[in-house]
Structure 1
Amino acid sequence: MVVPSTKTSNPPVCRLRQYVLLLACFLWTSSCLALWGLSGGIQIRPFQPPRPKPVPRNNNSSSTISAHDMGISEEKWDRLQKALYWPGPDQEITQLNQSTSPVHSTFSIVGLKESYKVGEHISVTITARDHNKNLKRYGGDFFKAKLFNSELKASVYGEVLDHRNGTYSVALLLPWEGQAQVYVRLEHSSEVVQILKKYRESSFPRSHYNGYFEGPGPDKTRISEVVECNLKWGADGSWSKGDCCCEYKDIKTGTVWQCERPKKLSCNKLVHHSSAGLENPLNPFEMQIFTKTLTNVAITGDTQIINVLPNTTGIGTMERCRSGMMTPVVPAGFYLKDVWKSFVCNTQQFSSAQSGNCLKNKIVYLMGDSTIRQWFENLEIKVPDIKRMDLHTQHFLGPLMAVELKNNIIVHWRAHSVPLRFPKVPITDLHYISNDIDEITGGPHAVVAYTLFAHLDFHPLTFYVHEVAKIRQSVVALLSRAPETTVIIKSGNTAGIKDIFQSDWYAMQQNTVMQEMFQDIDGVIYFDVWQMTSCHYLLEDLHPGPVIIANEVDMLLSYICPA
């Protein structure tokens, strides 16, 4: 846009733009070292983190993580353990044929009738068998179930109930008129889940990272060193192969990151971070059980068409979307013609113009991984005239900021801090979510949404609890000082990754932690996108397809601007 010259040195449009950039940079981007106001430059000194200190290499002895280490009470940890409990084999499994077979496991519809009415349920029984066709005597298999109609682009999630004796049941709601079919698949056998649990809680470093140290001077002559880095947790640094380490402790969260000490440079020369290789801990027998032919496989069963007739009474009227509602519920909603219809509250479909009106005078802070960056990217397309500012950052890392001046809309996204499996990035651009929430004033104009799951799959669940506990403290403080702030938690989604490094079982357990940790806090909204991604016809992907993201963003806007 070309602005005509005027007699004043700062025309109204320029002054407005300066105010917006000043506010946005001050609130979010630590990389803005100089901000320009109406009457000259305002210099802001960047925050200086504490200087790291060398620490001696730890021995290989493991350490027990207590509730105190995680930052929670013993009572809360006991409650979490009960919620996270997952049954497993009642005997040591030494042969592949003793594990659950997707070929011989089946499902059946109980008491199938000729027709049903919208709002009724059908009951499905799943029977697990091993490779010798023997009935399993214990539970712990990870099944997924849904009801679907491909022509209507309709589907609904079914929660699987484990009876811990080799049988499972699913109650599937019939929410649309027309036809429907049942689909069930074995995600992981109970034997594989035990392997996932084993290595999730071990100190074995399945994921490796690099730290890039840079000396002073021009690029051609400066000294550079790359060393291995990782989280200090559990075994207290036993991953390290060096003689000593550099330790980086965040003051507020207490999280400690370690890097092997460079040979030539000091610890305070760490400049960049990146992911490195993955290390598979499985022994030959475990690899046999974990084979792809036994994982994420549809099982056979009743494929009859279910006829669903209209119901004049309907399913019920939804309330306005607001914080504090009982979420998630099962099912949390369903798809019909590719539109998500929530059972939690009255979600709407927002046009482009309606999206802009809804976000008028709002500052939206999106924090976490690339799955919530997808919300940022959707809003860039959805909101009229919103423009991304050039903050000279990498797209996949951020921070990113988009501004719409007419309606005074600002949208931010920033990635969470280490552990993070990204390409080479400046380590100063990695912030802990809880610390960023502490820097937000809040108020009726502020929307804070975050997610935390995929990158923490590689590390112990106790560390995940620790990170969520810190976020919880920051959210409680934010709502205390600014109770009208909209705070939204996006759950982890299904990913289509089924290996020892990442698995939907990990994500599901993390979702349980997040739900339990926030269930007693008024003013927090929990988005159960797990169900939205689990039952959709698109192949499961760590980054869900555009149609799913569009429905998630419509749900976001439904809470910001309820009808």
Structure 2
Amino acid sequence: MTLTLKKLICFLFVTSLAIIGLLSANSRIGVFRTTLGVYMPVTVYKSVKTRIPRYQVVKTSRISKGVQHTYMARSAGTMGLPDVSKTKLRINNTNIRKGEFFSFFVDFKDKFGRQRIKGGDFIFATIDINGTRSTGKVIDFDNGTYEVIFLASSEGKATPTIQLVHPQEAVYYLENIEWPVEDRVYWIGSFIKNKLTETSSCAIKRVGSWVNKCEYAFPEALGGVMFICNKPKTLPCDSLISTRTDKSSVGKNFQKVPKNVVDNYFSKNVRYAVMKNQFHIIINSSTDPNVNRDLVESFDLPVCKGILPSTLSDGFWTGEVWHSLVCKTKQWSPSEIRRCVRGKHLILMGDSTTRQWGEVLVKTLNLSTKITFQYIEERSDTLNLTFYFHPFIIGVQHTYKLAELHFEVDILKNLVGCDYYIVISPWAHYTQWARDSYIERLQLLKIAVLHFKERCPDTPVVLKSPHPRDHTKLPQFIYGSDYLIHRLRQVMKSVFADTDVFFMDVWDLVNSYHSQNEIHMPSPVILQKLYIFFSHVCKF
């Protein structure tokens, strides 16, 4: 071997050692683990944060690989509804470390112990890991098997909770039979003139024909959707002063639901049925000290704006603090909030879940603000805030005057200047609207928002999503179903998908909180929502 060749080999050897040393000092080998046995090793430099995988990408990959079941040919067979007492959870990999994603599989069985051969069930999945709580992302293989993907948000004992909200049969009924139809809610209209008062029945109508009815059109806000009342005995249609929900209408409509549907598809055995915890697993600490020190900081999160893609985790709770993994957020002090809202007019438009924002905010800022069911107005050096309840309230015995109607399209059109923060959230009173009527209402709202953004392109507009709620009476499981609320959420996100409106999805935030789901969640939950909002509208 010549001297020159020896020098070249020596140089290459020393150089390779240097490169190896540099890599070992500045990088780690990260693995995105899954229970499907797929390992995707990636080199992650400590100075580079990890992107959270997108839910839709992972879902498409999983479904393409599939989970197969072998079925024997039968001359006759019986397939029952899901039975959580027969259903098993399984996990293929228990060597899990903090910061990794891992999966449980749910194989739904019927009461005979037979594997269900169809999907479409509506499931809630949450997990508690040493006091941290989060929601899992569900993948439906359409054959009775579901994969639930969780983030290992802490180390310690992990306890999953899988809840069958509705079986596929109930979902089909809600989607195809209940949601599309009109006449599921009525109001009582009060007509007053010359000290004479008369009442009649009113409803929202978009399709069909009618004869000799009082018609009330709101074309910019509702399009072809009209408010129709039976003509009162003597008074003219223009004497309609106020409306209130006809409390008896829900009960009357519920009687029309077939008995076999109620008894089978919405029975206690298949309605919010919780699987008994079958095992716990232990999450180990990460091999990466950055993950152990601050899990949120180890991820590369976008700023809070626009319609963000769904990822494998929206975040997790530690105590009363929500750690968002959707976008960059922080915990805001009262003084920081005051600076954030200074010189801005905060406009809140929605239902009572949006009114809660105003209630918690004025309390946080130690203000004495008059708050009514339909309206909040605060005008001070600290806060300039207005809350408007949307028209056609249902589900509460509250009478409101037509003169008090405030459609979002009218409010946006009449705003002067651009110094606003705007929140819109029409959802809690719309599960009893027909699907197409709600979609048309959102489409017109979108047009109004786009017109406003043409005038004020830099003014933040936030669309707050629906969230799961409580149900106390059987009709609420149908007319206020969490499945229908979930569908409103999907429609809302879809309609505004091509805008720069910030879609603030709070579904998982609410569903993983340590107390039960309620229409009006406790103040700490509202405060965490406000922190996400301020993280969007104000720089930090």
TM over 0.5: yes
Indicate the residue corresponding to 2:414 in structure 1: 439
The letter of the residue matching 1:228 is: S
Q: The residue matched to 2:260 in structure 1 has which SS? A: helix
How far apart are 1:312 and its partner, in Å? 1.6
Indicate the residue corresponding to 1:171 in structure 2: 149
Q: Give distance in 2, aligned partners of 1:438 and 1:194.
A: 39
Task: Between 309-318 and 183-192, report the one with greater CA deviation.
Answer: 309-318
**Structure 1 pair 122–330 and aligned structure 2 pair: CA distance change class (3 A):** closer
Task: Between 325-334 and 169-178, report the one with greater CA deviation.
Answer: 325-334
- Native 8 Å contact 2:100 2:151 kept in 1: yes
2:332 pairs with 1:350? yes
Question: Which residue, out of 264, 271, 277, partners 2:234?
Answer: 264
- Native 8 Å contact 2:150 2:312 kept in 1: no
Q: The residue matched to 2:289 in structure 1 has which SS? A: coil
**Structure 1 pair 199–436 and aligned structure 2 pair: CA distance change class (3 A):** farther
Indicate the residue corresponding to 2:519 in structure 1: 542
Indicate the residue corresponding to 1:388 in structure 2: 369
Structure with greater Cα Rg? 2
2:437 pairs with 1:476? no
Q: Give distance in 1, aligned partners of 2:119 and 2:308.
A: 29
Q: Give distance in 1, aligned partners of 2:412 and 2:310.
A: 24
How far apart are 1:388 and its partner, in Å? 2.1
Indicate the residue corresponding to 1:230 in structure 2: 203
Indicate the residue corresponding to 1:141 in structure 2: 121
Q: The residue matched to 1:184 in structure 2 has which SS? A: strand
Question: Which residue, out of 444, 467, 470, partners 1:496?
Answer: 470
2:271 pairs with 1:295? yes
**Structure 1 pair 292–207 and aligned structure 2 pair: CA distance change class (3 A):** farther
Question: Which residue, out of 106, 112, 137, partners 1:126?
Answer: 106
**Structure 1 pair 300–513 and aligned structure 2 pair: CA distance change class (3 A):** same
Indicate the residue corresponding to 1:370 in structure 2: 352
- Native 8 Å contact 1:109 1:302 kept in 2: no
How far apart are 1:328 and its partner, in Å? 4.1
Q: Give distance in 2, aligned partners of 1:106 and 1:201.
A: 32
Task: Between 163-172 and 290-299, report the one with greater CA deviation.
Answer: 290-299
How far apart are 1:236 and its partner, in Å? 4.7
- Native 8 Å contact 1:200 1:459 kept in 2: no
Structure 2: where are the runs of 5+ without partners?
1-76
Q: Give distance in 2, aligned partners of 1:224 and 1:481.
A: 44
**Structure 1 pair 282–159 and aligned structure 2 pair: CA distance change class (3 A):** same
Indicate the residue corresponding to 1:13 in structure 2: none
- Native 8 Å contact 1:322 1:562 kept in 2: no
2:426 pairs with 1:448? no
The letter of the residue matching 2:233 is: K
The letter of the residue matching 1:282 is: V
- Native 8 Å contact 1:246 1:259 kept in 2: yes
2:259 pairs with 1:284? yes
Indicate the residue corresponding to 2:388 in structure 1: 414
* Alpha-carbon displacement from aligned partner over 1:495-514 (angstroms, at most 9, x marks no partner): 12361111110111111111
How far apart are 1:144 and its partner, in Å? 0.9
- Native 8 Å contact 1:182 1:302 kept in 2: no
Indicate the residue corresponding to 1:555 in structure 2: 532
**Structure 1 pair 170–320 and aligned structure 2 pair: CA distance change class (3 A):** closer
**Structure 1 pair 180–533 and aligned structure 2 pair: CA distance change class (3 A):** same
How far apart are 1:324 and its partner, in Å? 2.7
2:222 pairs with 1:244? no
The letter of the residue matching 2:257 is: L
Indicate the residue corresponding to 1:206 in structure 2: 184
The letter of the residue matching 1:133 is: G
- Native 8 Å contact 2:180 2:435 kept in 1: no
Q: The residue matched to 2:118 in structure 1 has which SS? A: coil
Indicate the residue corresponding to 2:459 in structure 1: 485
Identity of aligned residues (%): 23
How far apart are 1:168 and its partner, in Å? 0.7
How far apart are 1:327 and its partner, in Å? 4.5
How far apart are 1:250 and its partner, in Å? 0.8
Q: For residues 15-54 of structure 1, what are the structure 2 equivalents within 5 Å?
A: none
Q: The residue matched to 2:477 in structure 1 has which SS? A: coil
* Alpha-carbon displacement from aligned partner over 1:514-559 (angstroms, at most 9, x marks no partner): 111112212x111111111111111011111212111111111111
* Alpha-carbon displacement from aligned partner over 1:339-368 (angstroms, at most 9, x marks no partner): 111112221112222222221111000001
Q: Give distance in 2, aligned partners of 1:206 and 1:325.
A: 32
**Structure 1 pair 245–380 and aligned structure 2 pair: CA distance change class (3 A):** same
- Native 8 Å contact 1:106 1:301 kept in 2: no
Q: The residue matched to 1:499 in structure 2 has which SS? A: helix
Q: For residues 508-519 of structure 1, what are the structure 2 equivalents within 5 Å?
A: 508-519=486-497
How far apart are 1:96 and its partner, in Å? 11
How far apart are 1:179 and its partner, in Å? 3.0
Question: Which residue, out of 316, 320, 323, partners 1:341?
Answer: 323
- Native 8 Å contact 2:183 2:204 kept in 1: no
The letter of the residue matching 2:203 is: N
How far apart are 1:334 and its partner, in Å? 1.1
How far apart are 1:418 and its partner, in Å? 2.2
* Alpha-carbon displacement from aligned partner over 1:204-244 (angstroms, at most 9, x marks no partner): 5222211111112xxxxx1111111100123456xxxxx63
Question: Which residue, out of 434, 450, 461, partners 2:435?
Answer: 461
Indicate the residue corresponding to 2:502 in structure 1: 525
**Structure 1 pair 325–193 and aligned structure 2 pair: CA distance change class (3 A):** closer
TM-score, L = length of structure 2:
0.78
Indicate the residue corresponding to 2:26 in structure 1: none
The letter of the residue matching 1:403 is: R
Q: Give distance in 2, aligned partners of 1:322 and 1:499.
A: 33
Q: For residues 423-438 of structure 1, what are the structure 2 equivalents within 5 Å?
A: 423-438=398-413
How far apart are 1:333 and its partner, in Å? 1.3
Q: Give distance in 2, aligned partners of 1:471 and 1:232.
A: 18
Q: Give distance in 1, aligned partners of 2:393 and 2:410.
A: 15
Indicate the residue corresponding to 1:306 in structure 2: 282
How far apart are 1:387 and its partner, in Å? 3.7
Q: Give distance in 2, aligned partners of 1:411 and 1:421.
A: 26
The letter of the residue matching 1:547 is: P
How far apart are 1:318 and its partner, in Å? 5.0
- Native 8 Å contact 2:374 2:389 kept in 1: yes
The letter of the residue matching 2:196 is: I
The letter of the residue matching 2:105 is: T
Q: Give distance in 1, aligned partners of 2:430 and 2:101.
A: 36
- Native 8 Å contact 1:107 1:302 kept in 2: yes
**Structure 1 pair 96–491 and aligned structure 2 pair: CA distance change class (3 A):** farther
TM-score, L = length of structure 1:
0.75
The letter of the residue matching 1:430 is: L
* Alpha-carbon displacement from aligned partner over 1:62-88 (angstroms, at most 9, x marks no partner): xxxxxxxxxxxxxxxxxxxxxxxxxxx
Q: The residue matched to 1:536 in structure 2 has which SS? A: coil
Q: Give distance in 2, aligned partners of 1:140 and 1:535.
A: 22
2:74 pairs with 1:98? no
**Structure 1 pair 440–177 and aligned structure 2 pair: CA distance change class (3 A):** farther
**Structure 1 pair 530–322 and aligned structure 2 pair: CA distance change class (3 A):** closer
**RMSD between aligned residues:** 2.1
